[in-house]
Amino acid sequence: MQIFKTDPTLSDTDGDGYTDGDEVAHNYDPLSESEIKLIKKITISLKEQKLTYYLGPYQLGTFPISSGTAKNPTPTGSFKIDKKGQKVWSKAAGLWMPWWLSFKGGVYAIHELPIWPNGKREGSNHLGKPVSHGCVRLGVGPAKLLYDWASLGTPVVITKN
């Protein structure tokens, strides 16, 4: 709740009858007596190799990523989460992609470090470096957190900067 600058001595900072925790859990601003719905958003900086996620103006967290290589770049622009899958098979790459969040018709996605058929997982030492075939890879833990948090339609903005 520190992110939202709510009063830690009050369970309902804005006095609207809903606890701060319930308001945040349902995407409402805990500082407003009005029902202001906060929009979820994911931003990805290819230059910094970082993913940041927001609830309205509030930055909730930042994680290192691994994006596409120069030969297989991650697309830039504005997208939306259009499909989700807990563990999706990539025919093209021949591997599993856990906690898969498609942002371009199932062709490009945000997902956890991939797993090869023999069970070997791509290493976390790849995070911070562009080594994927165009997808955005997250580490173990952050990928599931983002999967559980993001709903279909969540905006995704990917920039070169």
SS (H, E, C) 40-89: EEEEEECCCCEEEEEECCEEEEEEECECECCCCCCCCEEEECCEEEEEEE
Is 14 inside a domain boundary? no
- Domain holding 105, by residue range, is 64-156
CATH of residue 142: 2.40.440.10
Q: What confidence score (pLDDT) does residue 72 get?
A: 96
Lookup: tokens for 122: 């791509």
pTM to 2 decimal places? 0.90
With respect to residue 15, please indicate whether it lies within any of the assigned structural domains.
no
In a domain, 26, yes or no: no
Whether 1 shows a pLDDT value over 70: the answer reads: no
pLDDT attached to residue 36: 84
Q: Considering only 30-39, 85-94, 109-118, which range has the smallest mean pLDDT?
A: 30-39
Nearest CA to 136 out of 161, 155, 116, 156 is that of: 156
74 within some domain: yes
Number of domains in the chain: 1
